Amino acid sequence: MSAKIGILSGPPSLEDVRWLAVRAEAAGFDSVWAGEYFSRNVFTNLAAMALSTRRIMIGSAICYAFIRSPTQLAMASADVDEISGGRLLLGLGPGTRAQNEDWYGVPFEHPGPKLKEVVAIARGLWGHTGGPFRFEGRFHKLSIPNFVRHNQARPQVPVYVGATNPYMLGVVGQIGDGLLGHPSYTRGYYREVVLPALQEGIRKAGRQPGDVQRALLVVTVVDRDEERARREAARWLSFYLVARPFHSILDHHGWQEEKAAIVDAFRPPDQAKLTAAISERMWREVLALVGTPDQVRRQWQELSPLADHVILLAPAPYGGLDFPDYRKNYELILETFGR
């Protein structure tokens, strides 16, 4: 059975975010997602998408879990779920230490246990029917004398969690409604590390495999020129793999030369080096959809059985495609995968 198909918005303005959501819904996509960055607030983007559409699911990929209080996170999610009529998929992730501390000025500590508390608080608030709400944990202590939420769309919002290392993947298996697989995953890493760690977390929590949906974020570049598509996708893959938390994927395959080349290409960023850093042996392993429309349709047939939901991640102007080209890529993606 083919996976559901979604698309992640990377455009630079709210008007473009709305444009993509409307077009994705018209093209028959199952979901449209917004990310969070120091220059974008994910809930503003999600609200714009929700108000512009009627059917398509709205997701965050990802919302940083620790930069807001758990109460604020839960209520912002409930607001978007209400606006959309119950269409939100809340994708959470801890982010990196640098993102938390340098971008947002919040401490980064014990991400696994802290994330469990954040999710427990959010679910507790969503399911609370009135009266005092209290929570006492390792990181959070809450006491709300009389918590009431009016006009909530659903008793609970599905929580998808982004993870890469085995420990956090186990956390996803224990508490998540879904996994949000990182675009730096390779086929081997997904098969040999991600799925076993996820299943171990599911087993440890006494859950069933079907309790956790598997969603994969997949770098996608569609171009009539195959070589140009590969160049742009290589830049975007390098953009992700340069981050230290994702070096474990390179180490898993023994790609030490490629790791050194990617790091060197960012000191300072050199577009030619970024492209060359993705070797042919890496291309055979990466989970990506890259090439002409016909090529990516064939690639989809091979990739889609790996997950319940595949989210197409098109390079955004700040890290991949140049501004004149990003919208053209979205147009071709929608044309190629539209139902």
Alpha helices in 30-165 (DSSP H): 42-52, 70-84, 97-98, 111-126
Task: Compute the distance between CA of residue 250 and CA of residue 253 in angstroms, rounded to an integer.
Answer: 5
Contact partners, residue 227, CB within 8 Å, separation at least 6: none
The CATH number for 76's domain is 3.20.20.30
pLDDT at site 1? 46
Q: Is residue 152 in a domain?
A: yes
Domain range enclosing 97: 4-230+287-337
Task: Compute the distance between CA of residue 38 and CA of residue 57 in angstroms, rounded to an integer.
Answer: 24
Q: Is residue 258 in a domain?
A: no
DSSP-derived letter for residue 314 is: P
Mean local confidence (pLDDT), 187-202: 98
Q: Is residue 222 in a domain?
A: yes
pLDDT at site 271? 82
131-181 residue pLDDT tens: 999 999 999 999 999 999 988 999 999 999 999 999 999 999 999 999 999
Q: Is residue 260 in a domain?
A: no
Q: Is residue 133 in a domain?
A: yes
Crossing angle of helices 111-126 and 70-84, rounded to 10°: 50
54-83 residue pLDDT tens: 999 999 999 999 999 999 999 999 999 999
Distance (Å) of CA 303 to CA 70, 230, 271, 339? 35, 17, 28, 18
Q: Is residue 254 in a domain?
A: no
Asked whether the beta carbons of 160 and 92 are under 8 A apart, the reply is yes
Q: Is residue 188 in a domain?
A: yes
Q: Is residue 197 in a domain?
A: yes
Provide the number of structural domains found in the chain: 1
* 118 closest CA partner among 96, 135, 143, 101: 135
Distance (Å) of CA 23 to CA 6, 32, 124, 241, 316? 12, 10, 35, 30, 17
85-142 residue pLDDT tens: 999 999 999 999 999 999 999 999 999 999 999 999 999 999 999 999 999 999 999 9
